[in-house]
Amino acid sequence: MIAEALAGTRIAITGCTGFVGTALVERLLRCVPDCELVLLVRPGKRHSAAERVRREILKNDAFDRLRAQLAGSAEPFEQMAARRITTVAGDVTGDMLGLDQHDRTILAGCDIVIHSAAAVSFDSPLDTAVEINLMGPVRIAETLRALGVTPHLVAVSTCYVAGNRRGRAPEELVSAGPFDIGLSWRAEVAAARRLRADLEDRSRTPERLHGFRTEAREELGAAGTPALAAKTEQIREKWVDHELVEAGRARAASVGWPDAYAFTKALGEQALTETKGDVPVSIVRPSIIESAVAEPHPGWIRGFRMAEPVILSYARGLLSEFPGVPEGTVDVIPVDLVVAAIIAVAALGPQRAPFITQVASGSTNPLHYGTLVDNVREWFTQHPLYDAKGQPIDVPQFRFPGRGRVQGQLHRAQTAITRSERFLQKLPLRGKQAEWSARLEEKRLDIDRALQYVELYGLYTECEAIYAVDNLLTIWDGMDDHDRATFCIDPRVVDWPRYIRETHLPSVVKHGRVRTAPGKSTSESRPTRLRRQILEPSRHVAAFDLENTLIASNVVESYSWLATRRLNQADKVRYTLRTLREAPSLLALDRRDRSDFLRFFYQRYEDAPVEQIATDARELFSQLILTKSFPAGIRRVRAHRAAGHRTVLITGAMDFVVEPLRPLFDEIIAAEMTVRPDGTYSGQLTGVPPTGETRAQILADYCDAEGLRLDESVAYADSTSDLPLLEAVGFPVAVNPETRLAAIARKRGWLVEHWAKSPGAPRPLLPLAPTRSRTAGRP
């Protein structure tokens, strides 16, 4: 019996934070009560290996069944797990797996090593796939040999190492069959590593860096040097990874594999066979792994696999066709059958276990692509998803075109939307109008995802290989009734229509967090939840921008009001025409650099009498600022004060313009101008204007001086030039955002507020002061 064969053994597992690994840990703890587990886990940036095991594995709902079984027992779940699980910090991409001396000793005491760690994404960069999928098994075998031990190594691979073949795919090494083309895994490793270095060099040429910088500016606008620098580097790194992804696809396709994942897995088998030495090896090859049919509970799944994104895109009406052959086989296998097969192979031991065991359904219980689509369409017809307005989404009649046709259609749609986005970004839109651009970006992302699905998964739906499972069925035939009930590995037990309708699709919908009920949602909306969070007493500071955040005005309008305060009607008309002619160049300068714009524009205050400006500013406040204020914004400032938060106004407006707002705020930081001995303004600012990254630093310094926390603070702003401020706090709020910020806020899930002036407020083309008698002095 399997449990008895594994009793008293110590089993090391890699990849235990993944889909298969989590299910494997759960099944061994529940069904093999006398074994111990050693979990090799890579430490995270924030959490240790042991903490990752606690957070990412043991808290998963896969363990609910075992936790319930042990509730009230002499040894509850947490105590049992602590006794039976040992965590070691390691990484399959490092020499000796990155283990320290103590952890090497622990690994050396293991009887079985199950290697399930993999870069499972079909679009991993080539060098990443090589280091994990190809070199990972090699490093494990080398480490075991260096430690002088020979535990049974069970390596999890994939059926798709067989490549793009048609017909029967036997349980044998690809390099041992008729499809061997004589590839050298060592040469492929060296080439992938060279390619990474070459692309890093190419990404740093002046021409490419200029292009990355331009792209960053198009996305962020005048967000300031630090934000633009960080975005530029992010784009550069993304370009390198993209080139490596494309290189992986091209290399895999050139030698007959669907993608870099299958390609590197095939080479990994070859490399492990050549380097294992005396370490006994068994290879388990599953096909497409999907949700559990029974264990630990029907429909259990961790993360979305291959089919789920495509299914949900179809249910949302985003996909009406997908490449594939209706009569072709989609070789799907539930995760609990895969886990049971791995355990069964481990229990047989190196002497009795087959060298390769494929776990697939296509040869014994095939699921045809047309059958899958029919069941999905019928289920979502009976159980539709609902759109944002609470209306049911009709699923389209599915078609089965060629991959090239679908890709062509999606590429054309992608190009059209990208051009529209660029056009909208050039328009001075903000608030709800800017949401057009954000919604357009959402549509582009939907198309990008659909195109990615077609490119990644199209080859799998068109695959016509039939994977033999002779060794799997031989193991099944040798199992007694108890093992068959506890460790079912027979693909023939799956009733596909029932599995799809009653098990898999309900699980997909649950984990997809999609709307499944008509009408308005009864749950608290995201904006409502975010508004509640920002006003909780635990927040520390609420920082506000002024222009287009609390008032529908800007520095040009404030200056125009003051400049025309003592002009006659004819001079006002000339001033208006001159300012309108300047508007495009002023707007362009503002978009390039907010600080440069303010320095340039504020020179117009040169020679203005300080006392006169102070007097006029009080009238400016009552006649312009108040009439253009957003009542909802003023109420929000007061709500923060009522909640006990510090309120801070950080604005590039002149200090004399915002002085009347002081009763609303604990602190006001505004632009200040030097004053000449004769009592006039010089037109020169006293320091760096409080814009862009300067605002973030000002708020950080304020919090530091007052003993307050940035991550418990809130910031309100309207432009990408304020991005450093919004990113610095724990609770960013985009108010009446311009186009770029609207897209960023939507992507990052920030709260977006649309605040407006009171109804009936004046809307002049350019706000001018009422005409009064002209006296000396400027402006």
Angle (CA) 60-61-62 rounded to 5° is 90
pLDDT, tens digit, 9 for 90 and up, residues 255-271: 888 889 999 999 999 99
- Cβ(116)–Cβ(24) under 8 Å? yes
Q: Which residue, chain included where needed, has tokens 């505004």?
A: 670
pLDDT in tens, 598-651: 999 999 999 999 999 998 888 888 888 888 899 999 999 999 999 999 999 999
Average pLDDT over residues 215-223: 82
Work out the pLDDT band at 774, boundaries 50, 70, 90.
Answer: very low
* CA separation, residue 351 to residues 151, 152, 347, 354, 355 (Å): 12, 10, 11, 8, 10
Instruction: Please give the DSSP secondary-structure letter assigned to residue 493.
Output: G
Asked if the domains 1-183+255-287+331-363+468-489 and 530-753 are classified in one and the same CATH topology, the answer is yes
End-to-end CA distance of the chain: 95
Question: Could you tell me which residues come within 8 angstroms of residue 82 by beta carbon, excluding any fewer than 6 positions away?
Answer: none
User: 419 or 596, which is more confident?
Assistant: 596
d(CA 698, CA 725): 9
Q: What 3-state class would DSSP assign to 327?
A: coil
Beta-carbon contacts of residue 505 (< 8 Å; ≥ 6 apart) = 311, 376, 379, 380, 383
Residue matched to tokens 């009763």? 663
Question: What is the maximal distance between C-alpha atoms in the chain?
Answer: 107
Q: Can you tell me the distance from the alpha carbon of 664 to that of 237, in angstroms, rounded to the nearest whole number?
A: 45
- Would the pTM of this model clear 0.85, i.e. be above it? no
For the residues of 241-252, what is the DSSP string, one character each?
Answer: HHHHHHHHHHHH
* Helix axis angle, 555-563 to 594-601, nearest 10°: 0
Amino acid in the structure at residue 46: R
In the structure, what pLDDT confidence band is assigned to residue 388 with cuts at 50, 70 and 90? confident
Tokens of 569: 């009607």
Six-digit token string for 204: 């740093």
Q: Which two tokens stand for residue 490?
A: 């027979």
Residue 705 above 70 pLDDT? yes
Q: How confident is the model at residue 289 (pLDDT cuts 50, 70, 90)?
A: very high
Determine the Cα–Cα distance for residues 99 and 88; give it in Å rounded to an integer.
8
Contact at 8 Å (CB) between 136 and 439? no
DSSP letters for 439-477? HHHHHHHHHHHHHHHHHHHHHHHT-EEEE--HHHHHHHH
* Per-residue confidence band for 777, with pLDDT thresholds at 50, 70 and 90: very low
DSSP code at position 129: H
Kindly state the DSSP code that residue 720 receives in the 8-state scheme.
G
- Reported as a single tens digit per residue, the pLDDT across 234-253 is 999 999 999 999 999 899 98
Domain topology for 530-753: Rossmann fold (3.40.50)
* DSSP at 395: P
Q: Is pLDDT above 60 for 137?
A: yes
* Domain-wise residue ranges, the chain: 1-183+255-287+331-363+468-489, 294-330+368-465+493-521, 530-753
pLDDT tens per residue, range 428-465: 555 555 565 656 666 666 666 666 666 655 566 666 78
Q: Which two tokens stand for residue 215?
A: 């792209």
> What residues contact 670, with CB distance under 8 A and at least 6 apart?
649, 651, 652, 653, 654, 655, 657, 658, 690
pLDDT score recorded for residue 175: 60
pLDDT tens figures, 660-686: 999 999 999 999 999 999 999 999 999
Q: How far apart are alpha carbons 619 and 634 in whole angstroms?
A: 19
Cα 524 from Cα 512, distance rounded (Å):
18
Rounded CA-CA distance 26/151 in Å is: 22
Q: Whole-angstrom Cα distance, residue 775 to residue 166?
A: 92
Q: What is the CA radius of gyration of the chain?
A: 32
> In the structure encoding, which two tokens stand for residue 191, read together?
């080439």
Average pLDDT, integer, range 4-21: 95
For the chain, what is the mean pLDDT?
Answer: 87
Mean pLDDT value across residues 687-712: 92
Give the whole-angstrom CA distance, residue 273 versus residue 260: 20
User: What is the pLDDT at residue 251?
Assistant: 94
Q: Alpha-carbon distance 708 to 540, whole Å?
A: 6
Model confidence over 496-533: pLDDT tens digits?
999 999 999 999 888 877 777 776 656 678 889 999 99
Distance CA 224, CA 697 (A): 12
User: What's CA 674's distance to the chain center, in Å?
Assistant: 47
Contact status, residue 311 vs residue 512, Cβ threshold 8 Å: no
The conformation of residue 293, written as its DSSP 8-state character, comes to: S
Residue written as token pair 């997909």: 508
- Over residues 318-339, the mean pLDDT reads 81
* H, E, C per residue of 152-171: EEEEECCHHHHCCCEEEECC
Q: What is the pLDDT of residue 1?
A: 86
CB 404 within 8 A of CB 451: no
Report residue 375 as tokens: 């069941």
- What kind and span of H or E run contains 36? strand 36-41
- Does residue 775 register a pLDDT over 50? no
Copy the structure tokens of residue 22.
Answer: 């989590």
Residue 159 exposure: Cα atoms within 13 Å on the Cβ side: 29
Let me know how many helices (H) and strands (E) the chain has, helices first.
Answer: 31, 19
- Rounded (5°) CA angle 133-137-140: 140
Q: Which residues, in sequence order, are CB contacts of 54 under 8 Å at separation 6+?
A: none
pLDDT at 372: 87
How far apart CA 658 and CA 547 sit, in angstroms, is 11
pLDDT of res. 625: 85
Query: What is the DSSP track for 62-80?
Result: GGHHHHHHHTTSSS-HHHH
For residue 134, give the DSSP letter.
Answer: I
Share of the chain above pLDDT 90, in %: 58
Question: Which one-letter amino acid corresponds to residue 293?
Answer: V
Work out the burial of residue 553: count CB atoms within 10 Å of its CB; fewer than 13 is exposed, 13-18 middle, 19 or more buried.
buried
> Would you say residue 364 has pLDDT above 70?
yes
Determine whether domain 1-183+255-287+331-363+468-489 maps to CATH 3.40.50.720. yes
Q: Please give the DSSP secondary-structure letter assigned to residue 760.
A: T
Residue with tokens 């068994």: 282
CA 542/CA 636 separation, integer angstroms? 10
